[in-house]
Amino acid sequence: MAPVQISAVSAQPRTHPTAGQRARQFANFANGTTLLGLALARSAGTAITRGPAGLIIASGYRWRVPFAGAFTVGNVVICRVGAGQLTANSALLGHEARHCSQYAWCLGLPFLPLYFLAAAWSQLRTGNPASANFFERQAGLAAGGYIDTRTPRPAPGGAGGIEV
């Protein structure tokens, strides 16, 4: 197998990662999820480039699953659009970067079952996998292109009810 080629995205000025971003980069390398993300990105035939904040961007993803414009595996942000288009969308890139941090906080692979549990919980509660999903809410629903479908429920028996 040939080594993964990583080239810089020249269109976007890149600043050095902060200490926190470096810690995330190291954690996701050490826990193996970044390597898993690179393997997936390479298998899917994406273009792999360095992004800002210690992220790796894998663009041009065409597989049907997952049904998302962008998703993360470790520090690898995999997207259907071009790398320049993703880095130009700072809200979406920030959303995906927060998912990268979530991988680090979950010590890598445990993020995936926890995320799917949260998505299932959200699906049951709200009818969609994002609105009540802890990970999506923490990453920012609007930034991720989600609409918050949660609506306040009327208090039982009128005013004074406690909603949990």
Contacting residues toward Zn ion, per CB under 5 A? 136, 139, 144
- Structure-token pair, residue 39: 């393997």
Q: Pick the closer one to Zn ion by CB: 36 or 93.
A: 93
Q: Pick the closer one to Zn ion by CB: 78 or 139.
A: 139
CB of 27 to Zn ion, least distance (A): 19
Q: What is the dihedral of CA 71, 77, 80, 81, to 10 degrees?
A: 130
CA atoms within 13 A on the CB side of 78: 26
Q: Pick the closer one to Zn ion by CB: 11 or 109.
A: 109
CB of 99 to Zn ion, least distance (A): 5
CB of 61 to Zn ion, least distance (A): 15
Q: Pick the closer one to Zn ion by CB: 116 or 162.
A: 116
Q: Pick the closer one to Zn ion by CB: 54 or 144.
A: 144
- Structure-token pair, residue 157: 């028996």
Residue ranges of the alpha helices (H) in the chain? Answer: 19-30, 33-43, 83-88, 90-105, 111-126, 134-139
CB of 75 to Zn ion, least distance (A): 15
Please state, in angstroms and rounded to a whole number, the distance separating the CA atoms of residues 59 and 32.
21
What residue number has its CB nearest to Zn ion?
144
Please state, in angstroms and rounded to a whole number, the distance separating the CA atoms of residues 118 and 134.
6
CB of 113 to Zn ion, least distance (A): 16
User: Residue 160 corresponds to which amino acid?
Assistant: G
Q: Are 84 and 11 in contact (CB under 8 A)?
A: yes
